Amino acid sequence: MNLVRKFFLALTVLTGCGLIVSSCRQQPAPEAKTKAAASAPRQAASKPPSPASAKSKSPAPKPQAPSRVVFNGSLPGTWPKDIPLAPDAQVVNGYYTSDLKTFYAVLDAGANGDKVNSYYQSLFAKGGYQQESQFSGGRSSGATYRKSERRVTVMLTTKAAKPGGKPASEVDITITSG
């Protein structure tokens, strides 16, 4: 215990000396400070910043992300004309982006999910779309089609039937361009 006390006492003394020594460093003479301060404004005034350098320092404005426009009950007028609503489906809701590069719709196909899905498969085959992929799992199945820079994904989801009813189907369509 005695050794620990001596250690802390020595540490305290050395720390105190260190503070004293560091505060006793030579300071520049007051006249040297005033000379440096007097020359500083002249240096700044002699070279004003050029307008070009001031402009280059400002950050470029950030591009704004497109906003989403939500719709319910029917397809909007901005919806791509070559992808109409399937005859056996009703629009539940969806959205499109303000830059018109993304469209998404949820369709209620009732018990006609397979008919609606077949309708879109036929439509895309006739319209020059190439099937890129096909997927199936659980209660969902679908495919992705591509034509030029446009990609369309159609996903059919069969919902569980209510007691005494037929199974209902939902079709999700996602259209992206660019």
Q: What is the CATH number of the domain that holds 93?
A: 3.30.2030
Question: What's the pLDDT tens digit per position in 21-39?
Answer: 444 444 454 554 445 455 5
How far is residue 109's CA from residue 157's CA, in Å, rounded to a whole number?
Answer: 10
Residue 86, class by beta-carbon neighbours within 10 Å (0-12 exposed, 13-18 middle, 19+ buried)?
A: buried
Identify the domain containing residue 171 by its residue range: 68-177
**Which distant-in-sequence residues (6+ apart) come within 8 Å of 86 by Cβ?**
107, 109, 115, 116, 119, 120, 171
Any domain includes 8:
no
Any domain includes 119:
yes
Any domain includes 133:
yes
Looking at residue 62, its pLDDT comes to: 79
Looking at residue 55, its pLDDT comes to: 55
How far is residue 44's CA from residue 81's CA, in Å, rounded to a whole number?
Answer: 64
Q: Is 109:171 a contact under the CB 8 Å cutoff? A: yes
Any domain includes 142:
yes
| 177 pLDDT more than 70 | yes
